[in-house]
Amino acid sequence: MKIPKPCKTSKTWIAAGTLGLLSVTATAQAAVAPEALVGPVADYKLYVLDNLEQLVTHTEDFTAAIEAGDLAKAKALYAPTRVYYERIEPIAELFADLDVSIDAREDDYEQGVEDPDFTGFHRLEYGLFHDASTDGMKTYAQGLMADVEELDSRVQALTFPPETVVGGAAALMEEVAATKISGEEDRYSRTDLWDFQGNVDGAREIFELFRPLAAQEDADFVARVEDNFDDVEKTLADYRLDPDDPQAGFESYDEVSDADRRALTGPVTVLAEDLSTLRGLLGLN
């Protein structure tokens, strides 16, 4: 007798109203064996650690420039430093205390910029780009350096939960949908596109690592996600200062046309919807 294959999770919709089975909940029958996830999760940890190493190095240069009072250099290093944080946000956010002190925005505080608890990248952004000065920034710079080093050591010791890793792809696209399209993340430096690309890079890395497993479950899904990633990256590429040099970065977010903001919103929203099903597709809780 032929044993029926486990239901593909994407096919487990229960037609409403059928046969009085409505209260029955479909049980998950993931075709993906848990062991299959070990390799991609380990690879992802290497990716995160590599980015953290870069984050530490870049933060050293960035904060050194501030402490030296070199405004121009500090401004130039702001966005290229943040990128490494934006790529690994799903993991970095696991440490809420550090996420707040490193990456909170003034909107998170009732007293805004004046709030004594407001620290980190965005406090420095306000000083460098709004006040155009490194005055009074030394404490914030030292605090950021200490926080980044602390993050690095905590992540080294962290066991990566597979559901957090896989769910991270969706979390990054939610981040883009909520704060990048609107251009509110880097409102003083207008370097939002750097962060945007960082979030997309981080999401795509996760997706690519698990793509072979996802493709076994739903090849159409994988193709659609690839297409939408390509669409987003293509639009972002139009705003690169030098197409041949990723390090050159992006134009100011002010330069992004309304039409392109809309053109980004479409695939970003579809990615957020699609990637929200990646955990389920891989049978993860």
Partner 1 sequence: MSQSDRSSRCPFTTLQTACQQTTSQKTKPQKTKPQQADDRQAGHPPTDPPSPAHAERRRFLKGASLTGLGLGLGFTGLGGACPARALAATGHGEDVTSAPQQQDAELRYPFHGEHQQGIVTPRPATGMLVAFDVLARDRDDLEKLMRVLTERIAFLTQGGRIPERDPLFPPPDSGTLGPVIAPDGLTVTVAVGDSLFDERYGLASARPKRLQRMEGFPNDALDAARCHGDLALQICANTLDTGYHALRDIIKNTPGLLMVRWKQEGTVPLLPPAPGDIDGSARNFLGFRDGSANPDGDDEALMDELVWVGRDHDEPAWAQGGSYLAARIIRNFVERWDRTPLNEQETIFGRRKMSGAPLSDGAAEGREQDVPDYTLDPEGKITPLDAHIRLANPRTPATEKNRILRRPFNYSNGVEANGQLDMGLLFLCFQADLEAGFITVQRRLDGEPLEEYIKPVGGGYFFVLPGARDDNDYLGRSLLAATA
- Which positions touch partner 1 (CB under 8 A)? 9, 12-17, 22, 24-28, 30, 228, 262-263, 265-267, 269-270, 272-273, 276-277, 279-281, 283-285
- The amino acid occupying position 241 is L
- Output 92 or 282, the one with its CB closest to partner 1: 282
Contact at 8 Å (CB) between 241 and 195? Answer: no
Nearer to partner 1, 125 or 175 (CB): 175
* Smallest distance from partner 1 to CB 267, Å: 6
Shortest Å, Cβ 216 to partner 1: 16
> From the CB of 41, what's the least distance to partner 1, in Å?
17
Report the nearest approach of partner 1 to the CB of residue 250 (Å): 22
The contacts of residue 61 (CB under 8 Å, 6+ apart) are: 77, 81
**In whole angstroms, how large is the CA radius of gyration of the chain?**
21
Q: How many CB atoms lie within 10 A of CB 233?
A: 14
Closest to partner 1 by CB, 27 or 247? 27
Give every CB contact of residue 27 below 8 A, 6+ residues apart in sequence: none
Closest to partner 1 by CB, 10 or 57: 10
Nearer to partner 1, 103 or 218 (CB): 218
Could you tell me the smallest distance in angstroms from the CB atom of residue 265 to partner 1? 5
Residue among 127 and 267 whose Cβ is closer to partner 1: 267
Those residues whose C-beta lies under 8 Å from the C-beta of residue 278, and which sit 6 or more positions away, are: 166, 167, 169, 170, 207, 210, 214
Nearest to 93 by CA among 154, 43, 36: 154
Diameter over CA atoms, the chain = 78
Q: Count other C-beta atoms under 10 Å from residue 285's C-beta.
A: 8
Provide φ and ψ at 250, rounded to 5°: -125, 160
15 secondary structure, DSSP code: P
What does 143-194 look like in DSSP terms, one character per residue? HHHHHHHHHHHHHHTPPPPHHHHHHHHHHHHHHIIIIITTT-TTTTT--HHH
What is the C-alpha separation between 201 and 83, in angstroms, rounded? 9
Provide the minimum distance between the beta carbon of 169 and partner 1 in the complex, in angstroms, as a whole number.
14
Q: How far is the CB of 167 from partner 1 (least distance, A)?
A: 11
CB closer to partner 1 out of 12 and 252: 12
